[in-house]
Copies of this chain bind each other. A is one copy, B any other.
Amino acid sequence: MTHPAKVLRAARKTTRRQDYSSSTKRSLLDNAEALFTAHGYAGTSLDEVVAAARVTKGALYHHFPSKLALFESVFLRIQQDTSEQIARRIDAAGDPWERAQVGLAAFLEACREPHFRRICMQEGPVALGHERWADAERAASLGLVKTTVDGLLADLGGGEQLADALAAIFYGAIRSASEYVADAGDAEEAAEQVQAAISAILAGMRSLAGLGVPLPTDGGSAGEVPDDLAASPRRRQR
């Protein structure tokens, strides 16, 4: 058996110099993640980051062009890890309705991780700006929701034109639900309530389809809604 170090270096085909560099970068990312999680984006100074990572600002600015770019790297790393994790659990589930339940549970769980909650859900939109954050979300969390919703609608048969809107709605619902759970005194009980509430919503949609009620109706199916309110927000009732 050869020497472990030699095997590693040979296998990874990296120079000592590259090891140093990537180690420095990784340390910056790790420490930045911890500090951003603890104090937020604006509340974290680069001096704190470089001190924690035991480097200087020169090193930081060699690896990242700006504070924002550093945050974005941290953000993307967490987001990708988390969404892959959730996707794996969804894929392990069976029919669309079970997948929705599993996805919800997995997402609620992820939102109880402080770093995901703080960096991806709270700081992300404002630090990166709504535009870039929304793009990243579309590719990750929202994408998962969209896929799941597509599955549900396919199972119900119909309502495809509502898929995007429904995905956005469910995504916001889950997001807000996670805040509700995180803020609740009894997180377990809150999580149960959320599961029950969303189950009820899904069950309602399912029963609607069973009743032969067409999903893609324009307003009015939940109660008498004046035309001018259901159709175009421009025209308001006096």
In the assembled complex, the Cα of A167 lies from the Cα of B196 at a distance in Å of 13
A58 at the interface (CB under 8 A from B): no
A198 at the interface (CB under 8 A from B): yes
- Whether A172 lies near B176 (C-beta < 8 A) is yes
- Whether B180 lies near A168 (C-beta < 8 A) is yes
Chain B residues, Cβ within 8 Å of A97: 222-224
Known: A176-B175, A191-B233, A192-B218. Contact between A203 and B208, CB under 8 A?
Answer: yes
Closest-by-CB residue of B relative to A195 is B219
Chain A interface main SS type: helix
- Whether A233 lies near B108 (C-beta < 8 A) is yes
In the assembled complex, the Cα of A84 lies from the Cα of B184 at a distance in Å of 27
A139 at the interface (CB under 8 A from B): no
Contact with B along A139-182 (1 / 0, CB 8 A): 00000000000000000000101101110111111111101100
In the assembled complex, the Cα of A193 lies from the Cα of B230 at a distance in Å of 10
In the assembled complex, the Cα of A220 lies from the Cα of B189 at a distance in Å of 16
- Residue among A130, A196, A201, A216 with max Cβ neighbours from chain B (10 Å): A196
Chain B residues, Cβ within 8 Å of A40: 126
- Whether A134 lies near B165 (C-beta < 8 A) is no
Known: A200-B215, A217-B200, A223-B101. Contact between A195 and B95, CB under 8 A?
Answer: no
Q: Which residues of A contact B (CB under 8 A)?
A: 40-42, 92, 94-98, 100-102, 105, 108-109, 112, 122-123, 125-127, 130, 134, 159, 161-162, 164-166, 168-177, 179-180, 183, 188, 190-208, 211, 213, 215-226, 229-234, 236-237
